[in-house]
Each structure stands twice: as structure tokens, then as C-alpha cells.
Amino acid sequence: MMINLLANNGYIVLNKILMKKVGLYEAILIGELSSEQIYWEKRNELVDGYFYSTRENIEEQTMLSAHQQRIAIENLKKMGILEVKLFGMPQKAWYKIIEDGLVHTLNGEGNFINILANSNYIVVNKNIMKTLGLNEAVLIGELSAEYLYWQKNGELKENYFYSTRENIEEQTMLSAYQQRITIGNLIDNGIINTRQKGMPLRTWYTINEDAIYKLVSENLEKSSSKKIEHQVVKKFNNKSSNSLTPCCEKIEHHVVKNFNINNNKNHNNNNTIDRLFNYIINKEQKIPEEFSEINFDDVYSMLYYYDMLYTEDIIESMQSEENKKRIKQITYTVALLVKDNWQGYCNNITREDLINIYNECKNRENEYKGTANEIEDFTRYYYRSVVNELKRGNTSSFFVLKNQQTEEDEEER
């Protein structure tokens, strides 16, 4: 097991300077693609400098979802660091890292001695990443470097060292919110312990090496028989809208039309949806009044869970207006779910479910247009359909809306 942990191909090396310039996920992707490019180059199998890799392989090696990969790839292409072409039948994505683009991006960050210095790297172990998570592995890599620094200087206190949220964000690009979630996960898994000491209070950390080794070793044993070949192209079986039983079929149309979400008569106002979305992508500073009393960290957490956090640049680069509307509508619905305390059931549906339900509701909106069943409030209709899907699999004691129940009954939930 220790050989597997120490193998060169078991790590992604992140350059901190590059990470600060391009972003955490972008740096992780470049680190992995650099290893793959060298692999193909050694085999003399580059094609005009290009090599191919699958989304599934990259996710296996980096834990970046297909959605996160798309955002990182688009950002790297804009920076002139990465080129992507589609070749073959079926088409495959072929990648080429532009070294001149890397040099240009790093220009102004000092000489290459600084870039190559040991202190400017975070070593991310892939096995830890697959066992605990991407952010967790990045944080462990940074805290390990800090631990060794304090140990080398003989300044550990009962095997603890201190670090600030600001320093960790500076070194890893993990926000204070991401750090809170990540640290909590590591504590829950027994990987680190923390203490609050001193005046002013500082957070002190210690790393439980035995716990890391045990957890990763157990994961290696479980996954050894499932190892994926380096470049096996797999068929990805998306759930189609035909195989998804539409949750809106379970609700009579007049019930959906008459249902009022928390008596908020303006919730379907497009301006409100736009204001909320612009707040999330940092285009507006003020949160819409409708959501001012909730803990907005919960909204970010749920959007992150569903892989629905977008940047302003990504939204503006989208050519499809319908796709933008879909993203905004789903984002607004997720915020409503948090407001109405549904986030505890988010694992009952997936990102694909949210999209498929939206598409199905849109189809019905078009189908019913101009009829007695016309959907007058799409936001309400979609929200109610998502809620109904969230309820699936829960016990009979959990409230399930029946067609004959009134709006007042729903408010008692």
C-alpha cells in the first residue's frame, strides 16, 4: 500500500503562483494534463502536440466534475494556456498545453527561481483526494507543508501549529466558507484536530497521520479491483427525460397554479430572479429582500452541491439565452428550497434531475399554452415539481401534498 501512496503518478503538483493567477480548479486541471502530455510525449504518440483524454478520465484523476472541467477549460482557453480540438468518430477531445501561454501568464511574478522554489508548491495526493475530496486534499497538502515548517523550526506546541484563514486562502485559494466546510469534514473523519488558543484567539492544527494512512489504505483496497485504464473511453449514460417520471404528473395543474410559495406574490418577477442571480455572481452587492433573513451560506452550499455555481464570465460567454434562463431559474429555485428548509433533502435529486425537471416543465408550459390549463406562473410550477421530487423515498410521516389539500394546509408543513 505504501508503494501506491508514494508512486509519482499518485500526485498532482500545484504551483501556487499559477494557482493564484488562473484559479484552483484551473491549476489542478493543468497539473493533471501536464502529466498526461508528458506520458503521451514519452510514447511518441502526440499528434501535432495534441493528446486525447476523456472527461471521465479527468474526473477520475482530479475529482473535477464535467461541469467544473468545462468552466476550467474555457478559462484556460481564454488565457491562451490550453487548446482543445475535436477529432475522430466518435469525436474525442484532444488537448495541447501552450507553454508560451503559461510563461506569459506567469510573467511579472518574479524569476523562475521563485516559480521553482519548494515553498511555491502544494502536493496533492490523488488517493487522499478520491477518499476525502478535492478541497480536503488541497488543504491537507498545505497544512502538511506548514506542519513541516513549524516542526523544522522546533516551534510545534504539543504537536500543534497555528495558521490563519487569511493565510490558508492566500496559499490555497479556498475561501473562508470553503475552509469551514473542508475543515469540518477533516475533523469529522479524524484527519485533523483544532484548538483555539491565545489572545487574540488563533486556530491551531494538528494532523493525524495514522488516520490518513488507515483511511486511504482502506480506500485503496476497495478500489483496486475497479481501477480504470489510463485512457479507456467510456459511454456516458445520461438520464433522459423519457426515463425520468415527471414529478409534475403527480400534481393536478390547478393545484400548482393556486399554490402560493410563502404568500410571496412577487416571487415570479423576472427582476427578482435577475437580482438574486446577479448577487450570486457578484454583479450586485445587495441581496434581494426576499432572501435577506436566511443564511446565504446555505444557498451557496446547495448550489455548490448541485454544481450550479457560475461566474459572470461564463454566463456572458454563453450564446444560448434559453440556457441562461434555465440556469437563473434553477438558481432561484435552489434559493427558495433553502428558504423553505428543503436543503436537508437535496441528496434525493441530482443536478441532472433539476435540469430534466425544468425541461419537462417547459415542455408542458408550451403544450398547455392557450388552453384552459395554461401555466400562468412557471416559477411556481417548476418549484412545486422539484419539491415533489425531493419528497420521493421519504417515510409516510413526511408531508405529501394531496390534490384535494388547500393552500393553507401546505403552509402548516
Q: Do 89 and 170 belong together in one domain?
A: no
Answer whether residue 170 is part of any domain.
yes
Residues near 117 by beta carbon (within 8 Å), at least 6 away in sequence? none
- Residue 256 CA, chain-centre distance (Å), reads 32
Q: Do 329 and 395 belong together in one domain?
A: yes
Task: Report the share of the chain in percent with pLDDT over 90.
Answer: 22
Mean pLDDT, residues 163-174: 90
pLDDT (0 to 100) of residue 272: 85
Q: Do 162 and 76 belong together in one domain?
A: no
Output the CA–CA distances (angstroms, integers) from residue 278 to 73, 275, 383, in the order listed: 23, 5, 20
Q: Do 100 and 130 belong together in one domain?
A: no
Q: Do 270 and 215 belong together in one domain?
A: no
Q: Which domain holds residue 193?
A: 125-225
pLDDT-derived band at 191 (thresholds 50, 70, 90) equals very high
Answer whether residue 241 is part of any domain.
no
Unique residue bearing C-alpha cell 508528458: 38
- pLDDT digit string, tens, across residues 195-249: 998 888 889 999 998 888 887 777 655 554 443 333 333 332 333 333 333 333 3
One-letter amino acid for residue 226 of the chain: K
Asked which of 52, 81, 116 is the last residue of a domain, the reply is: 116
Q: Do 306 and 405 belong together in one domain?
A: yes
State yes or no: pLDDT of 69 exceeds 50. yes
Answer whether residue 183 is part of any domain.
yes
Question: How far is the C-alpha of 353 from the C-alpha of 342, rounded, in Å?
Answer: 16
Q: Do 262 and 406 belong together in one domain?
A: yes
Residues near 283 by beta carbon (within 8 Å), at least 6 away in sequence? 312
- pLDDT digit string, tens, across residues 337-383: 999 988 778 888 888 889 999 999 999 999 988 898 888 889 999 99
Number of domains into which the chain is organized? 3
pLDDT-derived band at 404 (thresholds 50, 70, 90) equals very low
- pLDDT digit string, tens, across residues 103-153: 788 765 544 555 555 567 788 888 888 888 889 989 998 998 899 889 988
CATH code of 156's domain:
1.10.10.10
Choice between 349 and 270, residue whose per-residue pLDDT is larger: 349
- The upper half-sphere exposure of residue 109, i.e. CA atoms within 13 Å in the direction of its Cβ, equals 21
Choice between 57 and 304, residue whose per-residue pLDDT is larger: 57
Where helices occur in 120-175 by DSSP H, the ranges are 126-132, 134-152, 165-172
pLDDT (0 to 100) of residue 242: 35
Choice between 6 and 343, residue whose per-residue pLDDT is larger: 343
Q: Do 206 and 296 belong together in one domain?
A: no
The vertex-399 CA angle with 393 and 404, nearest 5°, equals: 115
Asked which of 225, 260, 292 is the last residue of a domain, the reply is: 225
State yes or no: pLDDT of 72 exceeds 50. yes
Asked which of 193, 225, 257 is the last residue of a domain, the reply is: 225
- pLDDT digit string, tens, across residues 286-319: 888 888 888 887 888 788 778 787 777 677 777 7
Using H for helix, E for strand and C for coil, what is the string for 242-297?
A: CCCCCHHHHCCHHHHHHCCHHHCCCCCCHHHHHHHHHHHCCCCCCCCHHHCCCCHH
